[in-house]
Homo-oligomer: A and B are copies of this chain.
């Protein structure tokens, strides 16, 4: 029984997981549809019933998982346990705070279970490349974020002084919001400079954003390229003497034991 719920190797547990994924998708769809006024007016009661039904189902499943689990503490405080809990709490919260029930979309996170259904190996390899790339450039990203926030703070304050409340720059936080909207090239147009000096300053921020956007792209790309390059270069030739697997593809002698490599492969 515990096998079906926790492992996905045999047929029964695979079927269980697939049914679970469909139920998760349906329960998220119910919340989304419920937020549309026209649909709510017509099918509100049905959707309300369905949401509680799904919640009770997930609640049962949650306690079931705790009960079946060998390492109960490990499950409850592990990643999947917390996600499973978060997926049911909002509906119960909505008894006190009506709007909270929209938070049930967090159930979408349960969809990560799909990783158990699909073959994981290839996925994890790719994910780990992305992870290594992100990790390697963590410091570069911190410097970058620090620079962006300083620009946003200084430029936002300057524009607050230059433009003033008439143009919508009613406070420094609002001006900083505008600076982020501009620097990220989103550009809603809800707050917009109208003075000549303000438009000139805004132009400079935009050109800065133009240059700055190149930096995160450059960081991620150079890491991915390096990872890719090392993937091509390495893990090509296995030494038949010492068994070392990471000889370069053009190696003639094994770099660890010095014995001659095979000509083939």
Contact = CB atoms under 8 A, between A and B. Distances in A.
A95 interface: no
Nearest to A184: B206
* Chain A contact residues: helix, strand, loop or mixed: helix
Contacts of A157: 31, 35, 102-103, 105
Given A37-B171, A253-B258, A203 B177 contact: yes
A185 interface: yes
A44 interface: no
Interface string A144-167: 010010100110011011000000
A109 interface: yes
A184 B185 contact: yes
A108 interface: yes
A174 B37 CA distance: 11
Nearest to A164: B99
B177 A202 contact: yes
Contact of A153 (B28, B141, B171): B28
Contact of A139 (B123, B200, B243): B123
Interface in A203-226: 203, 206-207, 209-211, 213-226
Interface of A: 28, 31-32, 35-37, 99-100, 102-103, 105-106, 108-109, 111, 122-123, 126-127, 130, 133, 139-141, 143, 145, 148, 150, 153-154, 157-158, 160-161, 170-174, 176-177, 180-182, 184-190, 192, 196, 199-200, 202-203, 206-207, 209-211, 213-230, 232, 242-260, 263
